[in-house]
Amino acid sequence: MPQRPHTHQKPTKTNMERPSKQYFKVCFCCRRMFRLKAAEPPEDVKKAFESYSENGTMTVDHLLRFLKEFQGERGATKEDAQGIFNSLKHLNIFQRKDLHLEAFFRYLLSDHNAPLSPNLGVHHDMKAPLAHYFLYTGHNSYLTGNQLSSDCSVDPIIKALKRGVRVIELDLWPNATNDDVDVCHGGTLTTPVELTQCLQAINCNAFIASEYPVIITFEDHLTPKLQARVADVVVNTFGATLFQPETELKELPSPESLKRKIIISTKPPKEYLESWRDKNQDDQDEVEEDDKDESDEGGEDHQDEDILAVPEYRHLIAIHAGKVKGGIENWFFDDANKVRRLSLSEQQLEKAAETYATNIVRFTQRNLLRVYPKGIRFDSSNFNPLVGWEHGAQMVAFNMQGYGKYLWIMHGMFRANGGCGYVKKPHFLLNPREVYDPNEELPTITTLKVKVYLGEGWYSDFSHTHFDRYSPPDFYTRVGIAGVPRDTKMMRTKAIEDEWVPVWNHEFAFPLTVPELALLRIEVMEYDTSGNPDFGGQTCLPVSELRGGIRAVPLYNRKGEVYNSVRLLMRFKFV
């Protein structure tokens, strides 16, 4: 049986813990030995150092000039450059009081040289109506796993809020004794959790990651008596943080005006009876057959007098939800006297977009559109969020408890704007005079050049036989764009055999027609002769906030958790 590899360590001046050899025992009498190479500065790094140094050393002033001219950090100050110097002192790789090439290289690979600026914070205009933003949105936020049999819990709600998610969905059902309210996925084997626990979890964690408003969407399957119970619990839990406008909104307020506010959105009770009757009179079309009911519909066949008996529940609802009566041609009607939230499944949106793309974009300039996964995604998988975003949909609702490329894209989008959970939509989606048509082919506006130099950190963060029992890993990198269809593509480097510190020096070019909606996808895989490559890390970055120059790009695991040491050295340039 193969054994855990042995390492032979030879102390060096720059890293006293860096091993120089690795042995793999393949049988009782044979061992394979591989030399472990340390990361070395690529030629581009050497040339940059030569251009911004004198006599082999770089002063604070030299580094400041490098930051401004080469890295494009026009606002960099001498204090910023001195801070970088100070961050490297513990490495003991200074020459006198200045940086030599090795120290400069270690800075480029450090957390101080991230691809997104750590100083930007919330920098979008936050005083526009809510409809002008993409919102970090969860779907069935209480589920811990699949849609059919997993537990319901407050834990995924708390985790989502701490990540910055701003829209939480709760499905409300009578409990077993019909005297209180549970949250669960109705008609399945999911175990319920009490509504009061969910609301308390939201109240305690809503504004840890962001001070901008949290919207709770209810899928309501309650009697009027239990709706009154919900109203009482919600008011008692949130108190003054609950946003309760006196009249139905004619225009959505801004995130800035709603800081640290909780907003309830669902279908008003009076409309449940009409909704129930309509659904029993009309045949469902093919798109709706595989989906659960629209998430802001539901409810029972209440009598009108019962509905009118719960005004306190109606008063909870700040953002009214529901469809205009009639077919698909009426869904996107914009009433100048009020605003509303419309919910569609991913299939319904795709079908509607074939004919009504510009109507959808115009609708989302004043109203909210929520898009949720189709009902047959029992494994809690997700769909391409760009389909919603390019049509202006603010709430692309995702199952946050899973993982996969679409969830990574979602995480990437909301790294923008300081991670506050609100990203301002690009101007072309908000222009009422010239409505954007997602189906129109557009010219290339810019080209993003991406160069992948090298990677490091797997030797520290993984078991040394994690990727291959008999040799070091064979890593390759996949780089691409997630965006509108014309911009979307993925490319890859070649695999570098038997190296913990692979060097690729591979450059890619990505022409972009809609850079405002583009995200840079990066994945590292380990080649396997079986055809099933091993996962070595991923990240997704909003192109709109990508910093030019040579950058250290930290990678994340499948769940979106950052590795301690794994990172790539890359260069970004717009031409």
Which of the residues are catalytic? 139, 185
> How do beta strands 181-183 and 193-194 pair?
antiparallel
Please enumerate in sequence order all residues whose Cβ is within 8 A of that of 242, keeping only pairs 6 or more positions apart, or say none: 234, 235, 261, 262, 264, 316
What is the distance, to the nearest Å, from the Cα of residue 209 to the centroid of all Cα atoms in its chain? 14
- Strand 534-542's sheet: what is its strand order? 489-492, 475-482, 519-526, 534-542, 549-556, 562-574, 446-456, 503-512
The 3-class secondary structure across 437-448, one letter per residue, is CCCCCCCCCEEE
Six-digit token pair at 393? 């949909």
Angle CA 371–202–218, to nearest 5: 40
Cα dihedral 101/103/105/109 (nearest 10): 180
Q: Which of 160, 137, 156, 136 is nearest to 146 (CA)?
A: 156
Q: In this structure, what DSSP letter does residue 109 have? A: T
Please enumerate in sequence order all residues whose Cβ is within 8 A of that of 472, keeping only pairs 6 or more positions apart, or say none: 22, 34, 36, 498, 499, 500
What is the distance, to the nearest Å, from the Cα of residue 232 to the centroid of all Cα atoms in its chain? 34
CA–CA dist 104, 139 (Å, integer) = 45
CA–CA dist 428, 159 (Å, integer) = 33
